[in-house]
Structure 1
Amino acid sequence: MKRLFFLLLAFVLSLALAQFPLTLTDDQGRSITLQKPPQRIVTMLPSATETICSLSEAACRRIVATDQFSNWPERVRSLPKAGGLINPNTELIISLKPDLVIVNSARLVEPLERAGLTVYVTRPQTYADIFRTARAYGQMLGLRAEAERLVARVQAEVFALESRAAKAKERPLVYYEIDPTPYTAGPSSFIGALIEKARGRNIIPAELGNFPKINPELVVQQKPQVIVVTHPEVGGIRNRPGWGAIPAVQQNRICAFSGEATDLLSRPGPRVAQGLKFLIECFHPELK
């Protein structure tokens, strides 16, 4: 039996290795080539960390460091933290000698490549990007079948919740605030897709982009019936000029999320269905 196990393992490994050398184009339009599946990976955005760890436990163990915000699953919390978008610790990354670094900022490419590292730039922003990046990571790690299973599972979870939301009697106008600047989410972003799947209507025009900074007067003009907030300064919303006349404020239909709930809503990764559930319960409390 043990001999059969090792034969099967060798067969699976041979199939994975047959896909290499592997050349891909990243979201910066750069071509990168991997000679073999990477075994030491640094992830510099939480969605990449969560997606790789959702491929398999063994894939998760290949991650040797993450950005400072990656906190799921539990095992990554104890890994070295290499800063974030504003304060990346390139020295730490280089010292760990990874064979793949996944980043979301082109400014990290030059110093890491100069040190001889392979860098893949990813910028997931849309709902489709969740599955595109899962498949890309599956390719790079030699885990294509695992990636397809992950995609199927997440899509099934989302579909089940979307079907539940379809029973709602109303489709409220929704304003989603990421920070008090204010930055928000357009309808083409993954958050915009979740608003739509939760049977809400995003007040932000598509032409403003995926994550635009807006004039607060736009929100007053659009009169949202529900406001979603994923930052700590929710208390100041009622005091903004003109916002007292907004239906969501008048009727106290403001859903404020923090902690893990904010992570689930803000990360284009494998736990997106849990974020969708929060929105459905916010828009349609009768469906709880």
Structure 2
Amino acid sequence: MESDKSDKSVVQTPLSVTDQMGRRVTVPFPPRRIVSLVPSQTELLFDLGLGNRVVGVTKFCIHPQEARTKAEVIGGTKNFNFDKIAELQPDLVIGNKEENYQAGIEELAAKYPVWMSDISNLDEALQMIKRLGFIVGAKAAADAMAEKIELSFSELASSVPANPGTAAYFIWRKPYMVAAPGTFIDDMLQRAGLRNVFADLSRYPEISAGQLAAAAPERILLSSEPYPFAEKHLAEFQQICPAARVKIVDGELFSWYGSRLQHSARYFQQLL
């Protein structure tokens, strides 16, 4: 379902919905001018055929490639340009509890309908895809996408070993930071058949080289984002844990919870 941004012929009616933070939001349905503050949800909107309704994105909305040329860049995920957003006159703003910042969201919510996602596992991601699809008028496509993703992970579950291997997943260097329980990445690790060696910690803790050596993971996964880990970093971690298998992994397939999930399960099978 694709329409020109300036198409005023679409009749809109108020739609009252609840977002994933439990907030009640009234959205003009279907929305014609959408600002997305979340890269994975920007990609989702384009993949649902709604690219022409996306008028604003962040500088981190790199997928699809044309997102930042077709839409106005309104800053980063944690520093919005409110003047640019006002010029765009959005009738729907889409944000995320973790990726955006509370003060900025509250300022936007005082002026525009703001629908927030809150995602820490696959089930919540699938719920977001279906609920957002309904809100933007692409319910059938979103439901089909969610079903496809759910099926791919069911197939993955049947192929993972009964005894999970151990892993540490790094998102940052200097200081070292890992993904621990309570994060979407940790849920992906479990579904890929891996047990997080930092299961006693939470969210994104800083750890030391000594803690990593003591945890002795079988695998050390270095994410391609947000820190740009590269081949040159492998030896650094191999020195700390000589017995571990150290590998650069596609961080988007572990942490983007929109339409990119269509490719994650197969990637995990090939990777692990």
Q: Smaller-chain TM-score range?
A: 0.7 to 0.9
1:7 matched residue in structure 2: none
2:5 matched residue in structure 1: none
1:83 matched residue in structure 2: 75
Question: Separation in 2 of the partners of 1:152 and 1:279?
Answer: 18
RMSD over aligned CA atoms reads 2.7
Structure 1 residues not aligned, in runs of 5+: 1-12, 284-288
> Could you give the per-residue CA deviations for residues 157-188 of structure 1, whole angstroms, max 9, x where no partner exists?
2233443x43x586321100111233322244
2:65 matched residue in structure 1: 74
1:39 matched residue in structure 2: 32
Say if 2:170 and 2:221, in contact at 8 Å, map to a contact too.
yes
1:202 matched residue in structure 2: 196
1:23 matched residue in structure 2: 16
1:178 matched residue in structure 2: 171
Pairing 1:1-288 to 2, within 5 Å after superposition: 21-55=14-48, 57=49, 59-78=50-69, 79-104=71-96, 105=100, 106-114=102-110, 116-163=111-158, 165-166=159-160, 171-180=164-173, 181-205=175-199, 208-209=201-202, 211-216=203-208, 217-230=210-223, 231-233=227-229, 235=232, 238-239=235-236, 244-246=239-241, 250-251=242-243, 253-257=245-249, 261-283=250-272
1:5 matched residue in structure 2: none
> Once superposed, which parts of structure 1, at least 4 consecutive aligned residues long, lie more than 6 Å away?
none
Question: Separation in 2 of the partners of 1:113 and 1:239?
Answer: 45
Question: Separation in 1 of the partners of 2:206 and 2:55?
Answer: 38
3-state secondary structure, aligned to 1:228: strand
3-state secondary structure, aligned to 2:25: strand
Displacement after TM superposition at 1:228 (Å)? 0.5
**One-letter code of the match for 1:185?**
A
TM-score (norm 2): 0.80
Q: Which has the larger radius of gyration?
A: 1
Number of equivalent positions:
252
3-state secondary structure, aligned to 2:180: coil
Displacement after TM superposition at 1:201 (Å)? 1.7
Question: Separation in 1 of the partners of 2:123 and 2:31?
Answer: 25
Question: Separation in 2 of the partners of 1:187 and 1:40?
Answer: 36
Structure 2 residues not aligned, in runs of 5+: 1-9
TM-score (norm 1): 0.76
**Judging changes above 3 Å, is the alpha-carbon distance between structure 1 residues 282 and 92 closer, same or farther for their aligned structure 2 residues?**
same
**Judging changes above 3 Å, is the alpha-carbon distance between structure 1 residues 170 and 281 closer, same or farther for their aligned structure 2 residues?**
farther
Question: Which structure is higher in strand share?
Answer: 2
**One-letter code of the match for 1:275?**
S
Say if 1:100 and 1:117, in contact at 8 Å, map to a contact too.
yes
Question: Separation in 1 of the partners of 2:120 and 2:14?
Answer: 28
